[in-house]
């Protein structure tokens, strides 16, 4: 009787002939779908995992739907796989080759470049020396990108590069036409990487069109790059065309700039006027009331976007209260102007700043200390009233409470923790009221008992009682001590635990004389608690 290897050897020729002639198809609705773009590369996976360690691959065959013979094969029946020959078909030619990845137990049929006719079902068959045949299937969907993208106006005139200039406020119609592509592409308009229109429609069987209408051009549209994209896949970058909008713009603003708060008669001063947004650059003229002034020098900056005019002027006493203005006009848009100006005497409300005197550290304000505040201010005209506030309420001198208001200074003597909060200074002049930003202070203090604690504990002789004590303190790093007091003696309680601002003592009365009062005290870096927390032990028979 012949062994299996002998039988395999005797039937090689017959098997090879049969396998090469008979295509294999996997009829499965769950076949993986791969997408590829024309002229790109695609890798078709094939499972080549060995059934056992002593087995090996004899034959790898690839088939495509609609083609009876294998489109690619590797024959390893007569020698090691690495020395075997690879056979490609007329269909693939030099576009296909097989790459083995034994670490992942996969072989990839690589097709490059992909052609339109590559679309369809593909099947891989792997024969082994001894094991059962492995079969894999995959489906390729070939995508044909659009041939071109064009931008035109409503008259079908081709637009590209920088277009215009268009007048601010006018309308603009841009039409995008994408030609070809399978499936038909999505045609969208983009501005600064943001999609602004996706209302495309099919123009005919081959073209897709999208019209983008700007009903009123604004200055934000100046030099804006508007891009039309056509895409039918995420596998490649979209086909695109872009235009840049050039425009004529009106002046957007005008500002008079002066380094002086007020102006003195018979003294020379300079004042500057700036205007932006005009395209082409604006022309600036100066006016004192209705009189035109000519002693100015004009400079165009920032590539024409900004025009600066500097005026040198000597006012007289008669000019007090007059309005000095500059006017910006676009020469190509006559009749449209922007104006700004100033009155030659400028007043403003007080500007105030509150601070602690330099010898005080805001992080080391302790209960019992004195605190000194100062208020700085700027004002034109002079201040007529200065006020201090705490938490929104006005402060007045009160020697009983240690509060002293001294115009620009505020002194708090022997402060308590209740005086923590926000302080500010306020001032009035003829222009109005100004106030400083609030200065918040936090006064640190020694421990005090927290209110509403359990104060009475009823226990019997030799009963363990746990007494809870809680304090308030800032900083909250405290140390506790406990004592028990009765008519006969007073001694320290040593059995207790502390955690943060809380402590619990454990105490056992052994006879009636051990009952009385238990006291809890704490201290921190500020000091020792003045009044202990007192707890009463009642004897229960």
- Domain 253-343, architecture per CATH: Sandwich (2.60)
Class for the domain spanning 348-443: mainly beta
Strand partners, 457: 537
Q: Cα 244 to the chain's mean position, in Å?
A: 29
What is the SS3 string spanning 265-306?
CCCCEEEEEEEECCECCCEEEEEECCEEECCEEEEEEHHHCE
Task: Say how many CA atoms lie within 13 Å of 392 toward its Cβ.
Answer: 0
Q: What pLDDT is recorded for position 149?
A: 93
Q: What is the pLDDT of residue 335?
A: 78
Cα→Cα distances 514→469, 484, 493, Å: 20, 8, 12
- Quote the pLDDT of residue 334: 77
CA 368 to chain centroid = 47
CATH of domain 148-248: 2.60.40.10
d(CA 39, CA 209) in angstroms, rounded, equals 25
In contact, 385 and 350? CB cutoff 8 Å: no
Structure-token pair, residue 44: 């078709």
φ/ψ of 513, rounded to 5, equals -75, -15
Strand pairing class (120-128; 57-64): antiparallel
> Can you give the pLDDT at residue 83?
87
Alpha-carbon span 336 to 403, nearest angstrom? 61
Q: Is 140 exposed, middle or buried (0-12, 13-18, 19+ CB in 10 A)?
A: buried
Helix (H) or strand (E) holding 14: helix 12-21
* Phi–psi pair at 93, nearest 5 degrees: 60, -135
In this predicted model, what pLDDT tens digit does every residue of 225-254 receive, in sequence order? 999 999 888 888 888 999 999 988 999 899
Question: First and final CA of the chain: distance in angstroms?
Answer: 107
Assess whether the previous peptide bond of 475 is cis (omega < 30° from 0).
yes
Domain range 446-539, CATH class: mainly beta
Domain ranges of the chain: 4-143, 148-248, 253-343, 348-443, 446-539
The span from the CA of 111 to the CA of 88, in Å, is 11
Say whether 253-343 and 148-248 share the same fold.
yes
* The pairing of beta strand 306-313 with beta strand 323-329: unpaired
Spatial distance between the Cα atoms of 74 and 20, rounded to a whole number of angstroms: 11
59's CB contacts (< 8 A; 6+ apart) are 16, 19, 73, 74, 75, 76, 77, 125, 126, 127
Cα gap 146→160, rounded to integer Å: 19
Strand partners, 353: 376
Give the model confidence (pLDDT) of 318-331 as tens digits. Answer: 676 778 999 999 88
- Contacts of residue 169, defined as CB under 8 A and 6 or more positions apart, other chains included, come to 216, 217, 218
Q: What is the pLDDT of residues 145-187, one digit of tens each?
A: 898 999 999 888 999 999 988 888 889 999 999 988 888 888 9
Q: Under 8 Å CB-to-CB from 483, ≥6 apart: which residues?
A: 490, 491, 492, 493, 518, 519, 521, 532
Helices (H) and strands (E) in the chain, counts: 2, 45
Q: What is the rounded CA–CA span in Å between residue 240 and residue 236?
A: 12
Instruction: Provide the token pair at 209.
Output: 């069109």
CATH superfamily for 4-143 is Immunoglobulins (2.60.40.10)
Per-residue pLDDT in tens (0 to 9) along the chain, 541 residues: 333 233 223 323 223 333 333 333 333 447 899 988 998 999 999 999 999 988 999 999 999 999 999 999 999 998 888 888 899 999 999 999 999 888 888 999 999 999 988 999 999 999 999 999 999 999 999 998 898 999 999 888 999 999 988 888 889 999 999 988 888 888 999 998 899 988 887 767 778 999 999 999 998 898 999 999 998 888 888 889 999 999 889 998 999 988 776 775 566 778 999 999 888 899 999 998 889 988 788 898 888 888 999 998 877 656 767 789 999 998 877 778 899 998 887 465 788 999 999 889 998 899 999 999 999 997 767 899 999 999 999 999 999 999 999 989 999 999 999 999 999 999 998 778 889 999 999 999 999 999 999 999 999 999 999 999 999 999 999 999 999 988 667 888 888 999 999 999 999 988 888 888 999 999 999 999 999 999 999 988 8
């Amino acid at each position: 009787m012949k062994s299996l290897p002998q039988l395999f050897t005797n039937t090689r020729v017959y098997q090879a002939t049969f396998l090469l002639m008979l295509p294999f198809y996997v009829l499965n609705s769950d076949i993986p779908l791969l997408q590829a773009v024309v002229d790109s590369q695609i890798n078709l996976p094939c499972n080549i995992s060995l059934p056992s360690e002593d087995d090996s691959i004899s034959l790898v065959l690839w088939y495509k739907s609609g083609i009876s013979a294998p489109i690619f094969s590797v024959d390893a029946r007569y020698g090691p796989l690495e020395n075997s020959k690879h056979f490609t078909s007329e269909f693939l030619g030099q576009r296909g080759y097989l790459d083995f990845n034994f670490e992942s137990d996969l072989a990839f049929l690589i097709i490059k470049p992909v052609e339109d006719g590559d679309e369809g079902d593909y099947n891989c068959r792997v024969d082994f020396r001894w094991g059962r045949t492995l079969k894999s299937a995959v489906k390729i969907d070939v995508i044909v990108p659009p041939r071109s993208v064009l931008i035109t106006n409503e008259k079908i005139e081709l637009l590209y590069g920088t277009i215009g200039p268009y007048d601010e406020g006018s309308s603009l119609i841009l039409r995008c036409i994408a030609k070809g592509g399978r499936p038909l592409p999505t045609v969208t308009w983009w501005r600064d990487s943001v999609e602004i229109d996706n209302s495309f429609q099919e123009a005919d069987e081959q073209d897709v069109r999208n019209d983008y209408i700007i009903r009123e051009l604004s200055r934000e549209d100046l030099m804006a790059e508007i891009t039309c994209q056509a895409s039918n896949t995420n596998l490649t970058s979209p086909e695109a065309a872009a235009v840049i909008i050039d425009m004529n713009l009106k002046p957007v603003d005008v500002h008079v700039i002066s380094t002086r708060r007020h102006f003195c008669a018979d003294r020379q001063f300079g004042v500057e006027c700036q205007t932006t947004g005009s395209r082409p650059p604006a022309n600036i003229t100066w006016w004192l009331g209705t009189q035109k002034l000519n002693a100015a020098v004009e400079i165009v900056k920032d590539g024409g976007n900004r025009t600066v005019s500097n005026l040198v002027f000597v006012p007289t006493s008669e000019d007090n209260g007059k309005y000095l203005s500059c006017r910006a006009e676009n020469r190509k848009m006559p009749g449209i102007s922007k104006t700004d100006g100033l009155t030659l005497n400028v007043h403003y409300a007080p500007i105030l700043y509150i601070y602690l005197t330099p010898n005080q550290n805001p992080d080391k304000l302790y209960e019992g200390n004195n605190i000194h505040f100062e208020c700085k201010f700027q004002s034109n005209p002079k201040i007529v009233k200065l006020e201090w506030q705490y938490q929104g309420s006005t402060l007045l001198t009160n020697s009983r409470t240690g509060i002293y208001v001294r115009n620009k200074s505020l002194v708090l003597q022997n402060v308590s923790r209740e005086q923590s909060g926000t302080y500010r200074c306020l001032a009035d002049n003829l222009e109005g009221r100004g106030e400083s930003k609030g200065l918040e202070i936090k006064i640190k203090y020694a421990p005090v008992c927290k209110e509403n604690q359990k104060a009475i504990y009823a226990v019997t002789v030799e009963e363990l009682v746990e007494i809870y004590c809680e304090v308030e303190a800032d900083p909250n790093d405290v140390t506790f001590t406990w004592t028990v007091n009765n008519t006969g003696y007073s001694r320290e309680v040593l059995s207790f635990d502390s955690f943060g601002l809380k402590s619990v003592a454990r105490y056992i009365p052994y006879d009636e004389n051990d009952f009385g009062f238990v006291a809890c005290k704490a201290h921190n870096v500020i000091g020792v608690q003045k009044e202990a927390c007192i707890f009463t032990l009642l004897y229960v028979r």
